[in-house]
Chains A and B, each alone.
Chain A
Amino acid sequence: MTSHEGPGITRRSLLAGAAGGLALALTGGRLPSPAEAAEPGADDQTADQPLITHVARPLDAETPCQVFTQYLTPNDRFFVRSHFGPPALESVAPSVWRLSVAGLVERPLSLSLNDLSTFDEITVTAVVQCSGNGRAFHSPKAPGVQWEQGAVGNANWTGVRLRDVLQRAGLKAQARHLQLQGADRPVVASVPLFTRSIPLKKALHPDTILAMRMNGAPLPLLHGGPLRLITPGWMADSCVKWLTDLTLQEEEAGGYYMQTAYRYPSRPVKPGEVIAPQDLKPVEAMVVKSVIAFPQQGAILSPGAIMVQGVAWTGEGRIVTVEVSTDDGKTWEQARLVGDEAPYAWRQWRFLWRTRGSGRRAILCRATDDRGQVQPMASPWNPGGFLWNGWDHVQVQVRET
């Protein structure tokens, strides 16, 4: 961020105020009371911002880490990311909105929200995470929004099984991929649309859902309302928002956002290296990861017992251990896994840290899943800066207060 400001107001606060207010309006959230706004937590200026804005337009904003002390991330504090911003409200109004199912199907469908509500309802608790979450930690820097820890959240997603809708249309034998298109449009028509696809196997998985509600409320516009795809265990580039068009086809979707962006090298690469297209595959499943929600970066703590808290999640497996180090990674101790365990949700963890002496301390955490994936100190560099899952760490000050 730049530093030249008028007296008494920072650019970040200006933007965060404007964009944060916008986020609240569109996520159906509440405004923080003046008392809340006046009490920044610890040394972290972002503590009471609903979201930390990286890009004001189209809005890209992440969740402050301390929100992750809650199992479910509230809608108004859930990260926001899209390439073009939400579509015009009138284009997604329930009266006009339709979901088209076409391509390699026996019976093309055009479904209203009412039509969709006739399918069996299902709720999945799932982590949704931007593929670029943690991009800011890759070195050298990768182009894109410089997300830190908070382009992730855990929510209850309610809707209908995608499988049920596809089966009503009837799939033709050649169908291999499901193309996804939302109602969002670029400002300039020559910019490619955000068109994505998922393999049919993921589309037919019983936990893949067309979500209409988020944490019990109608899906807010900023989170893809009235309808978005949720692909539990997979990164959010598949969780297309403002979904209007499902097309069954033999091949992956064409276009920039499927064939160029959101691809990850299938072998280790060096920065600047030219990678052949066949060595790049779509970003799909999440990797094992944990973050620290408490204490916050820069916190000043009294010596004694500190309850370190955080969350851990992985793609299609389950979290088996979370470890914490308070000596820069020399030794690790197991944290306690607490709270609910659900297949695609994150797991909360706690670690009782008895401080010794005073001064600056770093707290590190790493998670391991049941498939043997261990969160590495740093993730492999890749041109898109995707799938960061390096050890999380916060720096704190221990001193008598």
Chain B
Amino acid sequence: MRTRWGQRAGRLFLLPIILLGPTWLATGRADAQPADQQAQRLLASRCSVCHSTDLIQQQRLPRDRWEATVDKMAHWGAQLDKEEAALLTDFLATYFHPEAGPVVVLPAASPPVQADQESGTTPAPGWAAARGAALYKQNCLPCHGEAGSGGVGPKLARNPILTQADRFRTTVSQGRGAMPPWGAMLRPQEIADIHAWLNTLRD
């Protein structure tokens, strides 16, 4: 399979592959969580065996359709074990959901930035997180405290919900318990930006 692919790629499609790999991986602004990074590695190494990842980026599907799609691809021969398939589905459902705008900003597949020990925060590495900081201050700080330290609402810095981007988005937009839904106030991209910023916080 590899040999045949190599021949075909060499003949027709080598240039787009060279261009695509790095552009996909460099699309993000905020730091990626390890799971997001692994998902992006899977996209580059497993999915793009058969098709460039621009095909994925243009989809806006609910979780069940992503599940069905990843399942179909695994059935057709995509090299994904169960854990990898679940992780990939999570990533796709988080970033390429029906309410995501025309442009999806992915977290950069780079190592997380070390926290500034004094303030407990890091300078935002890109505009997504920087914008998230401003949005947080405006919308979330009253309940969740300075730098996500908690208040009326739970502490958000290093909160486990941050590892589940999809659940984070749903909780913010639909509300939970005493927390009102913010879906009418914050667009999905803004929620993602806040998420990106919260991920830069340490304690």
Q: Which residues of A contact B (CB under 8 A)?
A: 1-4, 11, 14-15, 18-19, 21-22, 53-58, 60, 85-86, 88-89, 140-141, 143, 145-146, 186-192, 272
Once the chains are docked, how many angstroms separate the CA of A245 from the CA of B15? Answer: 31
Residues of B in contact, count (CB < 8 Å)? 43
Contact call A57/B16, Cβ cutoff below 8 A: yes
**B13 nearest CB neighbor, chain A only:** A57
Contact call A141/B105, Cβ cutoff below 8 A: no
Q: List the 4 shortest-distance A-B pairs measured between CB atoms, nearest first.
A: A190-B77, A56-B16, A2-B27, A188-B77
Report B7-18 CB contacts with A as 1/0, cut-off 8 Å: 110011101110
Complex partner residue of A191 from B19, B58, B62, B77, CB under 8 angstroms: B77
Contacts of A146 in B (CB 8 A): 58-59
Contacts of B54 in A (CB 8 A): 1, 15, 53-56
Report B44-66 CB contacts with A as 1/0, cut-off 8 Å: 00001111101101111110110
Complex partner residue of A88 from B8, B60, B65, B76, CB under 8 angstroms: B8
- Provide 13 A-B residue pairs closer than 8 Å at the C-beta atoms, listed in order of the A residue: A1-B54, A3-B105, A11-B23, A15-B16, A15-B19, A18-B16, A56-B20, A56-B52, A57-B16, A57-B51, A85-B13, A86-B12, A89-B11
Contact call A57/B104, Cβ cutoff below 8 A: no
Does B181 touch A at the CB level, under 8 Å? no
B52 vs chain A, min Cβ distance (A): 4
Once the chains are docked, how many angstroms separate the CA of A53 from the CA of B7? Answer: 23
B40 vs chain A, min Cβ distance (A): 12
Contact call B20/A54, Cβ cutoff below 8 A: no
Contacts of A22 in B (CB 8 A): 12-13, 15-16
Once the chains are docked, how many angstroms separate the CA of A55 from the CA of B59? Answer: 12
Contacts of B103 in A (CB 8 A): 1-3
Contact call B17/A141, Cβ cutoff below 8 A: no
Complex partner residue of A14 from B5, B23, B77, CB under 8 angstroms: B23
Contact call A4/B60, Cβ cutoff below 8 A: no
B127 vs chain A, min Cβ distance (A): 10
A34 vs chain B, min Cβ distance (A): 20
Complex partner residue of B55 from A55, A88, A141, CB under 8 angstroms: A55
Which residues of B148-192 are within 8 A (CB) of A?
none
Once the chains are docked, how many angstroms separate the CA of A86 from the CA of B105? Answer: 32
Once the chains are docked, how many angstroms separate the CA of A65 from the CA of B7? Answer: 35
Does B69 touch A at the CB level, under 8 Å? yes
B35 vs chain A, min Cβ distance (A): 19
In the complex, which of the residues B15, B16, B23, B106 has the most CB atoms of chain A within 10 Å of its own CB atom? B16
A72 vs chain B, min Cβ distance (A): 27
Contact call B50/A188, Cβ cutoff below 8 A: yes
| A188 with B76, Cβ < 8 A, contacts A15-B54, A56-B16 known | yes
Contacts of B64 in A (CB 8 A): 272
Once the chains are docked, how many angstroms separate the CA of A219 from the CA of B58? Answer: 30
Contact call B52/A55, Cβ cutoff below 8 A: yes
Contact call B1/A189, Cβ cutoff below 8 A: yes
**B103 nearest CB neighbor, chain A only:** A3
Does B195 touch A at the CB level, under 8 Å? no
**B78 nearest CB neighbor, chain A only:** A188
Does B115 touch A at the CB level, under 8 Å? no
In the complex, which of the residues B7, B51, B78 has the most CB atoms of chain A within 10 Å of its own CB atom? B51
Does B125 touch A at the CB level, under 8 Å? no
| A141 with B60, Cβ < 8 A, contacts A88-B8, A190-B76 known | yes
Contacts of A187 in B (CB 8 A): 1, 4-5, 8, 49-50
A169 vs chain B, min Cβ distance (A): 32
Contact call A143/B69, Cβ cutoff below 8 A: yes
**A25 nearest CB neighbor, chain B only:** B12
Contact call B49/A188, Cβ cutoff below 8 A: yes
Once the chains are docked, how many angstroms separate the CA of A190 from the CA of B19? Answer: 27
Contact call A143/B65, Cβ cutoff below 8 A: yes
Once the chains are docked, how many angstroms separate the CA of A56 from the CA of B13? Answer: 8
In the complex, which of the residues A15, A143, A186, A191 has the most CB atoms of chain B within 10 Å of its own CB atom? A143
B72 vs chain A, min Cβ distance (A): 9
**A6 nearest CB neighbor, chain B only:** B26
Does B142 touch A at the CB level, under 8 Å? no
Contacts of A19 in B (CB 8 A): 16
B164 vs chain A, min Cβ distance (A): 23
Complex partner residue of B76 from A56, A57, A89, A192, CB under 8 angstroms: A192
Once the chains are docked, how many angstroms separate the CA of A1 from the CA of B53? Answer: 11
Contacts of B120 in A (CB 8 A): none
Once the chains are docked, how many angstroms separate the CA of A14 from the CA of B12? Answer: 17
Does B28 touch A at the CB level, under 8 Å? yes
Contacts of A54 in B (CB 8 A): 54-55, 58
